[in-house]
């Protein structure tokens, strides 16, 4: 597979994940995540380990975010090798009158021909 082919596959996975978040589609959000996912997030819990813990973090988010609100990729850069890839992105989130930017870093691993998200990190710039 060419590097651009792997990058395109990773981009497609991330775009599908963002779309699933906008629709509050748990199955779509989890579709390409590894069972042993590790996520660092802005609201507690600070760190989640495993797919079940990761899924639970979306309960809080979906309780505060309407399906029609923004969860949009504004800028993304992807680096992909044969079996490991990472992406860094600037995202926009929130209601139309109150959006904010956050940073996203995703690490992926290719297993048996399929990409799985093994690490996800959401952060916001410090305010002080």
- Kindly state the tokens that stand for 92: 């926009």
Q: What is the mean pLDDT of residues 29-35?
A: 98
Q: For residue 118, what pLDDT band results from cuts at 50, 70 and 90?
A: very high
Taking only the tens place, the pLDDT of each residue in 77-92 is 999 999 999 999 999 9
3-123: CATH topology is Nuclear Transport Factor 2; Chain: A, (3.10.450)
Does 3 have pLDDT greater than 60? no
Does 116 have pLDDT greater than 80? yes
Write the CB contacts of 94 (distance below 8 Å, at least 6 apart in sequence): 65, 69, 70, 100
- pLDDT above 90 covers what percent of the chain? 78
Distance of CA 57 to the CA centre of its chain: 12
pTM metric for this prediction: 0.92
Domain boundaries, the chain: 3-123
**Dihedral through CA 68, CA 23, CA 122, CA 38, nearest 10?**
160
- The terminus-to-terminus CA distance of the chain in angstroms comes to 45
Q: What is the mean pLDDT of residues 105-128?
A: 94
């Amino acid at each position: 597979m060419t590097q651009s082919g792997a990058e395109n596959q990773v981009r497609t996975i991330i775009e599908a994940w963002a779309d699933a978040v906008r629709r509050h589609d748990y199955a779509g959000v989890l579709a390409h995540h590894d069972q042993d996912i590790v996520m660092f997030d802005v609201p507690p819990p600070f760190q989640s380990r495993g797919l079940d813990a990761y899924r639970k973090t979306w309960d809080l988010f979906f309780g505060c975010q309407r399906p029609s609100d923004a969860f949009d990729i504004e800028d993304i850069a992807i680096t992909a090798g044969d079996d490991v890839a990472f992406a860094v992105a600037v995202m926009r989130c929130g209601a139309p009158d109150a959006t904010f930017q956050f940073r996203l870093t995703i690490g992926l691993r290719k297993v048996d021909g399929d990409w799985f998200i093994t690490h996800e990190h959401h952060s916001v710039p410090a305010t002080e």
